[in-house]
Structures are given as C-alpha cells and as structure tokens.
Chains A and B, each alone.
Chain A
Amino acid sequence: MFLSWITGVYLVYLAIPIALLIMGSFGELWLNTLLPTGVTGRWYVEVATDPSFRRAFVASLSVATITCAASVAIGLPLGYAVFRAQSRRVRAFARVLYQLPVALPPLVLAFGFILVFSSDTLPWLGSIWLLAAGHIVLGLPYFLQTVVSDMQRLGLRTLEDAAESLGSNGLQRFMHIVVPALRHSILAGLIIVAALSIGEFQFSNLVAGFLNRTYPVVLLQAFYGATGFACAATVILLSLAFLAAVSGSLVAGGATRMKVNVA
C-alpha cells in the first residue's frame, strides 16, 4: 500500500512537467496564471515554419545519424577487442578507460574542443562533423557498456569457438555470429546514443557554430519569446526522443518475432 503510494506520487511528479508542456503548447496565452487560457494550434505552425528551428531540426538529425553510424563503426570493433583481450588486466583497464567520459562534464570536453579546433591549423569549430565527434565521445561509453555486457551474457566466446570448429574464418565469424547475435544490444545501444545526441545541450551550445546549431541549443532561445512557442518547440523535441525509443524497441522486438513466425 505504502509502496504503491510512493510509486504513484513519483509517477505524477514525473508526468506533471510533460503534461504542463503539452497543455502550454496548445494554450493561447499563459501569463501569471496557473494554467494557460484559450486553445490554439498556431504555436506548432510557427515552430514548423521558423527557419532557424527547421535548420536546427535537420542539424540535430544529421548529427544524431552520424553519431550513431560512427558508434557502430568504432564501438563494435572496440567492444569486441576489449571482450576478446587475453589479459584480465587489459580488459579491466580498457573498461575503466572507455567509461571515463561518463564522469567527464561535457563542458570540459567542449573547452578542449574549442582550444584545439579554433586554431588556424584545425579550423573546424562549428561544423556538423565536429559536433558529431563530441557526441561520439559522450555516447560511446553507453554503447560499449550495452554491447560488451551482451557479449558476456551470450557467451560469445564459446559461440565463436563453436563456429570456428565448424569451419568458419574470422570474418565469417564476425559477420555470421557476432553481429547478428548482438543485434538487440546494438540497437539498444544506438537508441541511447541517439537520445543522448538529440538532447545534448552543454557541449553543443559551446561548440556549435551559428549555422549549425542543434535543436536544444535553438530551443533555449525560444524561452525568451512566447511561452506557447517554447512549449510547442519542447514537445517536438520530446516526441522525437520518444519516437526514437519506441521505434527502436519495436524494431528489436519485431526482429525476434519475425524469426520465430517464418515457417
């Protein structure tokens, strides 16, 4: 009874800001009142037609896509190498090393990027690629953690031994066994990376150039304007993150079911 009360109160506490945002995004006017007055859809139209928001939306999706692609390209071989490392000490050291960015404030990373990439030799500050590069550093620990723990759970080493004894070479093992067996955790890792990249503010705010600002960075400016506009812009960001999570889990679940049902 007591426990369900706590759970209930906590859920309400979680839902209230989202509910207020959604309410605000459809409200005509919201000044000094507990709830907005009037109903309108015009804030969404305004956000959708605002050129800087449209730009930011595309920039965010581009950065997230690059970040995800790079996470797989870098994270999978890296995680595999850590998992396969012979020495226990090497594995432990690698794990600490790749988990470090979790403890690193994005602010620090941003300062580092600014120092290095504002020079004349590497004048790339403000490009989409540099934003993605930072997001990779921030997202990779979560991707690696998800994938490496799945490798352990599956007993990937024994699966590979089996494949090897059955006649497959290294590349075949990677493509036939490692990647497909890990598909669920790769997807789960990518959802985390995508959500992180889409919502990231601290780093992006400092490193993004004026032309390639990401959605959260532009969103901040919206709060200096009309409340309804700001709410609508935020709800779009929320929906985007929600969509990524739901579609990701549907794809992962669907892949399993399809395999089973084909007769």
Chain B
Amino acid sequence: MISAPEAQAAPAVSLSGVTFHYPGSTAGVFDITLDIMPGELIVCIGPSGCGKTTLLRLIAGFLKPDAGSIRLGSDDVSALPPRARECGVVFQAYALFPHMRVWENVAYPLRVRNVAPAERRQRAEEMLKMVGLTGLHDRLPAQLSGGQQQRVALARALVFKPRAMLLDEPLSALDAATRVVMRDEIRRIQRGQNIATMLITHDQDEALSLADRIVVLRDGRLAQVAPPQEIYDRPKNAFVAGFVGRANLLDGTVLDGETVDTPIGHLATRPHGMARGNAIRLLVRPERIEIAADAAGENIVAAQVLRDRFFGSSRRIEVAAGTGRLEIETAARDRVANVRVPRDAIQFLRSN
C-alpha cells in the first residue's frame, strides 16, 4: 500500500469543519475535515453535484466557507481572496488568456508580482521546459492542441511556486489517447515539484491510477478518504463500492456464522460475527467471480447468461442466478453455465 509521503510533517492544506451552503438550495459541502500533506496528490471523486468543484473553489478562495477554517501551511486563509492564497489553479477548459502568447501566459503570475521582464521570460521558459513544451513559446493558445494547452496551464499554475495546486477535471477536455499521456505527465510534474495537490475528476480510473489518497464525496459529505487500494478493496459502504470500480451488491440474511442467504443462493463466507436472522450486505467484485467447470461445490451457482460483451482483454458477462443477478469480468473464453463465488472474495458492507 502506498502511504502519503512525509506523513509526519505538517499538512500543506488543512480543512477543518468546512461548510458551505449555496444560498437558496440544499447543495453545498458540509463539515469537511481533510488534510493534504506536502507533496501529496489527493484525487477528489464523486457524482456530478456532489460538491467536488465547490470544495476546490473553497480552497482556491472563490467561495468563502459559512463555517470551519481553511489553512495553507500555518496560515488561516479562510477570509483571504483568491489572489492572496497563492494556489495554482488549473481550470477545466484551461482558461488560457487568448490574447497572450504561451510564454506571456506562463509569465503572467510573475508580471503581477512585479518580477523584472527579463527574469519573467526566463522563468516562464524554464517552467515550459519542465512541463515538456519547447519551441512553442511564441504561439497563441488557439494554435496549440489540447494536450499542449494543458501543459501551458500547468506551467502557469506552478511558475510562482504556489502553496498548493488545484486541478478541476483537467483531463476531461482531452481525447482518450492524450488523456492517458497527460495523466502520467501530471503525476510526473506534481512529483517533480513535490507540491500538495488536489485533483478533481469523475473518472474512477483516473482516481485509482493517480492518487496518493482518494476522497469520495457524496452529497457534499466525505464518504471515504483512503489510498486507492484501500478504497477499492475495503470500501466503507455500498456507495463507495459502487462508485469506485464495479460491484455486485447482494442483500442477504444471516443463516449462521459463516453462511448467508442471498438472492443468488446460500453463500459460504468468512466469519462475519453476526447473529442468525440479521440483514447483511455483501460485496463481490466482478473480476473475483470465476467460471466453474462443475455444477457442484462450495458457492457454485447455476447461471444463465443475460449479456456477454467482449472487450478484447476482458469479457463482461451479466448472468441471472437464483432470483438475483451477477456481473462477471473474466479473461476466460469458456461457456458459462455455472459460476463460483470464492469465499474470500466476499466482503461485508454497511448498507448505507
């Protein structure tokens, strides 16, 4: 498991009980307490309207919290305007200044800080080189590709040595191939600058592959904060399990200490410590279910294929079993008549 670097240092960004309510609606973020360590990359994920962009705008200073405090380093910045917060923000559509050349865009933060013109240009060019963009300094943003614009936006957000970097769905405007390249580039650049970063996305692959820690937001509240593997392997509840990765969720009734009655049949589980008759919710990841050759054995159920889609490297099959359904992901090409749910693939969830 990857742990946050320098976990014992003081946090670079610290939210404590931050609450913000959009006037005249029930939307907002509520009681958010979260630390971002120096050099740490936090990926914030959640369905649209869950408050992830609100959270970013609160840290950047575009919104002021109704309650709670926001600290950058040791300073309470809750009341400061964005320009005094020194956060490098990368916007969804990059927000490059259309009338400025590439290097002028990158040098802009230095211009408003009264850095001498020659030094501005030199530092802008160094930063452009660092983000992997050379030879295009005198272009206008409109003459660059999406990936190149993204690099300019990153350079501009980092050139003034900000206290944190905030990225609002930075990859959503790119085509699929560029997205994968830029995903790795963002990680490389962020590592190189060793800067506390929060990246917002609705893409779970992005979250899982980029993050030191993932923050799952639901209805403006923290659903779970944990490293990617932990989020995937030990989701706190059904929402997190369903939102990050694919999930089979089975509502069952306890029969004994190691058996649960579920819609797909009786399943043997690890000891769950609950008394007979209690309701329990089980999680089985699709890739953990196996195609069984035999019809008899532990946790083998007869399955009837409803849908079978082939993706090259994998195959996603939906089957009916008992009175329930299962989703299976497998590389096997076999015909499906029976499936096995291994005992150790079954996890217990709280049902909210």
| A interface residue numbers (CB < 8 A to B) | 154-155, 158-159, 161-169, 172, 176-177, 180-181, 183, 259-260, 262-263
Query: Are B83's CB and A164's CB within 8 A?
Result: yes
- Minimum distance in angstroms from A205 CB to a CB of chain B: 41
Closest 10 CB pairs of A and B: A162-B95, A166-B109, A165-B89, A168-B112, A180-B99, A158-B95, A164-B82, A167-B112, A165-B82, A167-B83
Measured between beta carbons, the chain B residues less than 8 angstroms from A176 are 97, 108, 111-112
Measured between beta carbons, the chain B residues less than 8 angstroms from A172 are 112
Measured between beta carbons, the chain A residues less than 8 angstroms from B81 are 164
Cβ of B98 < 8 Å from any Cβ of A?
Answer: yes
Measured between beta carbons, the chain A residues less than 8 angstroms from B139 are 260
| B interface residue numbers (CB < 8 A to A) | 60-62, 81-83, 85-89, 91, 93, 95-101, 108-109, 111-113, 138-140, 143, 156-157, 160
Question: Could you list 16 A-B pairs, sorted by A, with CB under 8 Å?
Answer: A155-B93, A155-B95, A159-B98, A161-B62, A165-B60, A165-B82, A165-B85, A166-B156, A167-B113, A168-B83, A176-B108, A180-B100, A181-B97, A259-B99, A260-B143, A262-B138
Measured between beta carbons, the chain A residues less than 8 angstroms from B60 are 165
Closest to A162 in B: B95
Distance of A161 Cα from B97 Cα, bound (Å): 11
- Minimum distance in angstroms from B273 CB to a CB of chain A: 50
Query: Are B160's CB and A167's CB within 8 A?
Result: yes
Distance of A199 Cα from B97 Cα, bound (Å): 37
Measured between beta carbons, the chain B residues less than 8 angstroms from A163 are 97, 108, 112
- Minimum distance in angstroms from A209 CB to a CB of chain B: 43
Distance of A260 Cα from B160 Cα, bound (Å): 26
Query: Are A161's CB and B140's CB within 8 A?
Result: no
Measured between beta carbons, the chain A residues less than 8 angstroms from B140 are 259-260
- Minimum distance in angstroms from A182 CB to a CB of chain B: 9
13 additional contacts, CB 8 Å, given A163-B108, A166-B156, A169-B112?
Answer: A158-B93, A161-B82, A164-B81, A164-B82, A165-B61, A165-B82, A166-B108, A166-B157, A167-B86, A167-B109, A167-B113, A172-B112, A176-B108
Measured between beta carbons, the chain A residues less than 8 angstroms from B108 are 163, 166, 168, 176
Query: Are B101's CB and A169's CB within 8 A?
Result: no
Closest to A183 in B: B99
Query: Are B62's CB and A166's CB within 8 A?
Result: no
Measured between beta carbons, the chain B residues less than 8 angstroms from A158 are 91, 93, 95
Closest to B87 in A: A165
Question: Which of these, A155, A165, A180, A262, contacts B83 with CB under 8 Å?
Answer: A165
Query: Are A161's CB and B91's CB within 8 A?
Result: yes
Measured between beta carbons, the chain B residues less than 8 angstroms from A162 are 89, 91, 95-97
- Minimum distance in angstroms from B243 CB to a CB of chain A: 28
Distance of A29 Cα from B298 Cα, bound (Å): 112
Measured between beta carbons, the chain B residues less than 8 angstroms from A262 are 138
Measured between beta carbons, the chain B residues less than 8 angstroms from A168 are 83, 108, 112
Known A-B contacts A181-B98, A259-B101, A262-B138; the reply to A166 vs B112 at CB < 8 A is yes
Chain A CB within 10 A, most for which of B85, B95, B101: B95
- Minimum distance in angstroms from A84 CB to a CB of chain B: 14
Measured between beta carbons, the chain A residues less than 8 angstroms from B100 are 180
Query: Are B99's CB and A181's CB within 8 A?
Result: yes
Measured between beta carbons, the chain A residues less than 8 angstroms from B99 are 180-181, 183, 259
Distance of A170 Cα from B101 Cα, bound (Å): 22
- Minimum distance in angstroms from A91 CB to a CB of chain B: 17
Measured between beta carbons, the chain B residues less than 8 angstroms from A260 are 139-140, 143
Query: Are A161's CB and B95's CB within 8 A?
Result: yes
Measured between beta carbons, the chain A residues less than 8 angstroms from B156 are 166
- Minimum distance in angstroms from A258 CB to a CB of chain B: 11
Query: Are A169's CB and B83's CB within 8 A?
Result: yes
Measured between beta carbons, the chain B residues less than 8 angstroms from A166 are 83, 88, 108-109, 112, 156-157, 160
- Minimum distance in angstroms from A85 CB to a CB of chain B: 16
Distance of A172 Cα from B81 Cα, bound (Å): 15
Chain B CB within 10 A, most for which of A162, A172, A260: A162
Closest to B166 in A: A165
Distance of A117 Cα from B60 Cα, bound (Å): 53
Measured between beta carbons, the chain A residues less than 8 angstroms from B111 are 176
Distance of A55 Cα from B96 Cα, bound (Å): 49
Query: Are B95's CB and A154's CB within 8 A?
Result: no
Distance of A163 Cα from B99 Cα, bound (Å): 13
Chain B CB within 10 A, most for which of A159, A166, A176, A183: A166
- Minimum distance in angstroms from B294 CB to a CB of chain A: 60
Measured between beta carbons, the chain B residues less than 8 angstroms from A263 are 138
Closest to A157 in B: B95
- Minimum distance in angstroms from B221 CB to a CB of chain A: 26
- Minimum distance in angstroms from B13 CB to a CB of chain A: 15
Query: Are B86's CB and A159's CB within 8 A?
Result: no
Question: Which of these, A159, A180, A183, contacts B95 with CB under 8 Å?
Answer: A159
Query: Are A159's CB and B97's CB within 8 A?
Result: yes
Closest to B94 in A: A162
Measured between beta carbons, the chain A residues less than 8 angstroms from B82 are 161, 164-165
Distance of A169 Cα from B83 Cα, bound (Å): 7
Closest to B139 in A: A260
- Minimum distance in angstroms from A99 CB to a CB of chain B: 27
- Minimum distance in angstroms from A111 CB to a CB of chain B: 44
